[in-house]
Structure 1
Amino acid sequence: MGGCISIQILGDSDHIRNLEKNLVALEETIRVLKSRRYDVLRRVQEEEGKGQQRLNEVQVWLTSVQTIENHFDDLNITRTRELQRLCLLGVCSKNVKSSFHYGRRVSLMLKEVESLISNGVFEVVAAEPPAMRCVVEERPLQPVIFGRETMLEKAWNRLMDEETQTVGLYGMGGVGKTTLLTQINNKLCDGVDGVQIVIWVVVSSDLRVEEIQDDIAEKLGLHGEEWDWKDKRHKAYDIQARMKNKKFVLLLDNIWRKVDLEDIGVPFPTRENGCKVVFTTRSREVCGYMGVDDPMEVQCLTDSAAWDLFKKKVGPLTLKSHPRILEQARKVAEKCGGLPLALSVIGETMSCKKTIKEWDLAVEDFAGMDDQILPILKYSYDNLKGKHIKSCFQYCSLFPEDYLIEKEKLIDYWICERFIGENEDRERTVNQGYGIIATLVSSCLLLEEGSSISKVKMHDVVREMALGISSDFGKKREKCIVRAGVGLSKVPKVEKWSAVERIVPN
């Protein structure tokens, strides 16, 4: 009887006495609520498919329903245990305090569910979205961009062309593709007739579709627990419904393979809907996969623009700190080969170097190359498929800087090195070699010089990267001894000849 006395002390014993009955009632009302939520959500999705926007009161109700359903699931976990505690035909409990609190939660939840059911009757669930100006987020950008005025104008004109729906920008790592895309994004801030939303997405090298969907959803106002619980297919459906009646510009930065718009849920850009997609990539081949047969190559800066950028990064005080620094600075800038990334990183590194000895050393050994530049360029190398293609690429670094390599001779060298052609006839092997060259050119790891399509060359900074890979970025400096183009007349000094695997003295 001690338990019964405790009930009276606690007060309202209905929470225990009515526990079984309330649980049955709660289960039934939860089923009704779930059916109501399903009907409301179906109506909402139908209206959103027509370009309507769900009402805030409907969204608040749907969120509340999802929350109460989660709480019910938590409550149901201990249901069996709590019922087993009841005694005296359900009037008393073996653990009065626990049963009282549990019964009270059931009673309160039952009232809340009944309230949600009565409030879940909506004559209208969605309405026309308000007229809106173009939504675009301005991105940070250097105040002065050197040598890109013509390229920006050309890319902008291509984007504004009614016959163009997709624009591809390709070029080697660090050449300024992202900067150019940022300029386009910020130019869209000024407003373009009819464009309602501009969406910027950075694409990971392993192309995670749901991450792209989440980035797009955030710009479209699709978020919260309801969104997070959806799978890829339902997320694509929601994105499609929200975007299909909007004129948008989608900017995809740094793609490494084809991005399937349908898989993401993005409507295909057409002349009729006026939508556009602009992407950057290091591979011309990817441009073809994206349906762009005439992509725009972002090339390195001219000598004049490169020198202007380097001077800006170094600063006038450093350049004037010694009579010979200006001359050495020009040599360092030339070694960057017009690559904006190298010019910026090395320029900033040298901005505090005010002695001529430091600059003399920089002419011989790029400052900042190993830590900040080469790892970025190495992504293109890592993306090459097949060890033999990587070996062929590294072999090209054995030629002197700026050397024009004849394609036929290069293929012969590869054959002699047994990178290609084992157990195959000559014609097939040569064709394989040309295919590898095409892959390296497409990946911007080799360059075709102007009209001389029979020759290729390697950018100076890319060559430094290739040599770095051969020596494991300095950890095995004596693995490959390259003294190309210096006219050696005697054997170079090497501390550990047993570590040497290749010597290139030409």
Structure 2
Amino acid sequence: MESVSTSSVMDILNLLKACCSQSCNYIMTYGGTFSSLASEVGQLKDKSSDVKRDVEAATRDGQTPRSEVLGWLSSVQDMEGEAESIERKYNQKIKCLCSFPLNVCSAYRLRNRAEAALATIRELKQSAEFTKLADNLNLTRSIKMPTTKTIGMDKVFEELQRHAKDDSLSVIGIHGMGGVGKTALLRRFNNDFPSETEADVVIFLELSIDYKLEEVQKSLFDRLSLTWQDEVTHRDRATKLFRVLSTLKFILLLDNLWEPLNYQVVGIPLPAPPSKCKIIFTTRTEDTCSHMGTEKMIKMECLEEEAAWNLFRNSARMDVIDADKNVRIEARDLVKECGGLPAALIVLAQAMAPKKTWEEWMHALTIMKDTPHQLPGMTNNVFSILKLSYDRLSSDNMRVCASYGALFIKGSWIGKFNIRNSWIGEGIIDNVQNVMDADHKTQFLLGILHAASLTVRVHDDYFTMHPMTRAMILWVQRECGKKENKWLVWDRERVEEAPAAEKWRDAERIALVWNQISDLPEAPQCPNLIFLDLQVNKFLRKIPNGFFLHMPLLRILELQETSIEELPVSIGNLMQLHYLNLCKTRITSLPKEMTALVNLKYLSLAFMKYLRIIPDQLISSLRELQWLIMMDSYSGWKEGQSCEGGVSFEELESLKRLKVIGMTVSTLAALQNLCDSPRLAPLTH
């Protein structure tokens, strides 16, 4: 019985020894746990600082931190507090030698607490790899814009939508003349943006004509709900915009772009296909599309006749059109005068809405043909819009080039060779080496006008001008309607009488083309007249003797296809004349007074089958002459030094500035003399 008791006591003692040994070892080594805890907390704090900094940056950029990120930061903050509490209690313990705590039980509990915290901290570290810190949930995806009717634009709208869905296209340019509906189209695209599209945000910006960089950046900051600071530099703002937009699938709509926008300077990331991001802009100038890196250009055309009629009818309710057939006929003619330009159609519809009688509609048609600016709204809502394109041309010379389109009949095809000759007379095309150089420069200048939507290319050799653009230019040149006689343009109006002499006094340009005029004023006072075009007045047989006496500034005189048989001696008064076209007239002899035309650069005597006499030394006196056109005309060239009568080739050779000659020779000897002239032969056409 005694041995059993001794054995049991020994077992108990051995068990207690083992337990105490493990506990003592656990307590003796607990300092390592607290060291690991301090290390892990330090690493977690570093990671937390990085996440906080990124979240703060995202918040400044208008983004909303994600809930999981905020929850993680909150848990980190809690664990930092727990670790500080554990460390504080650990340091407060009164320890004996070898760091053995005097209160073993409390030390045991503190180590368990530290190990639990250590495990939680390690879990937080592992879960800190976030794919996305913040969302843009505070952004309004799109903002509706007020817009006008887009009747007749469904086809081009569908084209725009199709290109916008094409991931291979990132930059799309919409170009066309003022008032054609580009803004209405873009606003409709903004308002009808499909909800299923993956874009995060649709941004619509309407730019001012001479926009500033700061203006564009401010608009983007406002739309993205970013904080604007005046003291921040343009570059820093661009960096911020770039960082924010780079995280978004954005659709940027830029309306009314006059000059190319530098994406980099503003801070707009240029999407690289394939991409859901898009930059879509409207402009009047085709050149802007090229400079903006456009991958697809959409040309906005004026409306076809039926679409124009529908827009007109839907822009203002007019029961009188349905009720009165005669009014409907006049209404149709009025609509045609607008040339399918939506801005003009809407203004016209609003102006005509209160008109109830046929007589009112007839009068309105007369106004629309002659002085459309007199109709309500036409000046402010049509001409002023179109004038912006005219004013934005690079120079006065380019505005003169554009203005020539208004001197031709409405809707006509204008030949580039006709316009070239007039520009030579204006001095815009000067000192060219040959015909080809002149043609190239003409085509280049026309290209500028086409790109600015002021003219329309219809063929390689022809262009036209929209009727409302033509009307706008006439309005501008007449000092916004204040001086109707400043530009007198009667083209193919079948008039039989020239304007009365008093109308010529204020005139700068007069075009009386393709009419039935037979008589001209005797000696009109024209102190400002620069341009006079009387061509294709086949009943005009005589120009009064004193007709040119009071035209000191006249530079361009067009008499082609008139029936005149002689020029009056007063032609010698036109000292500033640069261009004279006598083609297809019945003149038999040039007056010696033409020797006074010392500034003449272009002289056309082509197809003058009756021309027999050119006075001696007349040609050589025209020392500024660059173009001499005489095909199928005078052929009385001197064939040798001793010959009398006719014009010698030596006279032509004396013209140092002569660049182009078109001539007829009727004898072999004259042809040989021409071929033997190293000066004339290369210039002959």
The CA distance in 2 between the partners of 1:271 and 1:394, in whole Å, is 42
User: Deviation at 1:207?
Assistant: 2.6
Match of 2:13 in 1: none
Task: Tell me, yes or no, if the aligned pair for 2:64 and 2:137 is still in contact at 8 Å.
Answer: no
**Percent of counterpart pairs with the same letter?**
29
Aligned match of 2:489: 482
- 1:45 deviates by 8.6
Q: Which amino acid aligns with 1:465?
A: M
User: Quick one: higher RCO (CA 8 Å, sep 6+), 1 or 2?
Assistant: 1
Shift of 1:49: 10
Letter paired with 1:128? A
Indicate the residue corresponding to 2:673 in structure 1.
none
Aligned-pair Cα RMSD in Å: 2.8
Which residue of 173, 183, 187 maps to 1:168?
173
Aligned to 2:294: 292
Q: Is the 8 A contact 2:174 2:281 kept in 1?
A: yes
Q: Contact 1:328–1:360 at 8 Å: present in 2 too?
A: yes
Amino acid at match of 2:347: V
Q: Using the TM superposition, give the Cα deviation of residue 339 of structure 1 relative to its aligned residue in structure 2, in angstroms.
A: 0.3
- C-alpha contact 2:174 2:182 (8 A) present in aligned 1: yes
Question: For 1:123-142, what aligned pairs fall within 5 Å after superposition?
Answer: 127-129=133-135, 135-142=141-148
Inter-partner Cα distance in structure 2 for 1:243 and 1:403: 49
Give the aligned residue type for 1:392: C
Are the counterparts in 1 of residues 238 and 267 from structure 2 also a CA contact under 8 Å?
A: yes
SS at match of 1:258: coil
Is the 1:388–1:420 Cα contact (8 Å) retained in structure 2?
Answer: no
Which residue of the partner structure matches residue 330 of structure 1? 332
Structure 1 distance, partners of 2:499, 2:380, is: 28
Deviations 1:146-191 (CA, angstroms, capped at 9, x unpaired) = 1111111111101111110011000000000011111111121x32
Deviation at 1:248, TM superposition (A): 0.2
1:419 maps to amino acid: I
| CA–CA distance in structure 2, aligned partners of residues 462 and 53 of structure 1 | 48
CA drift of 1:293 comes to: 5.4
Residue 364 of structure 1, CA deviation? 1.6
Equivalent positions of 1:281-430 (< 5 A) are 281-292=283-294, 294-320=296-322, 322-365=324-367, 366=372, 367=375, 368-422=377-431, 426-430=435-439
CA gap of 1:192–1:260, structure 2 versus 1, over 3 A, is farther
Q: Is the 8 A contact 1:147 1:301 kept in 2?
A: yes
One-letter identity of the residue aligned with 1:242: V
The correspondence of residues 53-452 of structure 1 with structure 2, limited to 5 A, is 53=63, 127-129=133-135, 135-142=141-148, 145-188=150-193, 190-223=194-227, 227-292=229-294, 294-320=296-322, 322-365=324-367, 366=372, 367=375, 368-422=377-431, 426-449=435-458, 452=459
Distance 1:463 1:159, change over 3 A: same
The letter of the residue matching 1:169 is I
The whole-number CA distance in structure 1 between the counterparts of 2:441 and 2:366 is 37
Aligned equivalents of 1:384, 1:410: Cα separation in 2: 18
Asked if 1 retains the 8 angstrom alpha-carbon contact of 2:455 and 2:464, the reply is yes
Does the C-alpha gap of structure 1 residues 434 and 482 become closer, same or farther in structure 2, counting only changes over 3 Å? same
8 Å contact 2:172–2:295 — kept in the other structure? no
- TM-score (structure 2 length as normaliser): 0.54
Point out the structure with max Rg over C-alpha.
2
Q: 1:134 Cα shift?
A: 6.8
Query: TM-score, normalising length from structure 1?
Result: 0.73
CA contact (8 A) 1:166 1:292 kept: yes
CA distances 1:368-396 after superposition (whole Å, capped 9, x unpaired):
32232100000000111111111011011
Amino acid aligned to 1:194: E
- The answer to which structure has the higher helix fraction is 1
SS at match of 2:493: coil
- Assess, with a 3 A threshold, how the Cα gap between structure 1 residues 198 and 293 changes in structure 2: closer, same or farther: closer
- Unaligned 5+ residue runs, structure 2? 1-48, 67-131, 514-685
Q: What is the rounded CA distance, in whole Å, between the counterparts of 2:380 and 2:219 in structure 1? A: 30
Cα offsets for 1:261-302 (capped at 9, x unmatched): 111111111225421000000011110001125411000001
Q: Contact 2:141–2:200 at 8 Å: present in 1 too?
A: yes
Pick which of 230-239 and 397-406 moved more: 230-239
Cα distance in 2, alignment partners of residues 475 and 355 from structure 1? 29
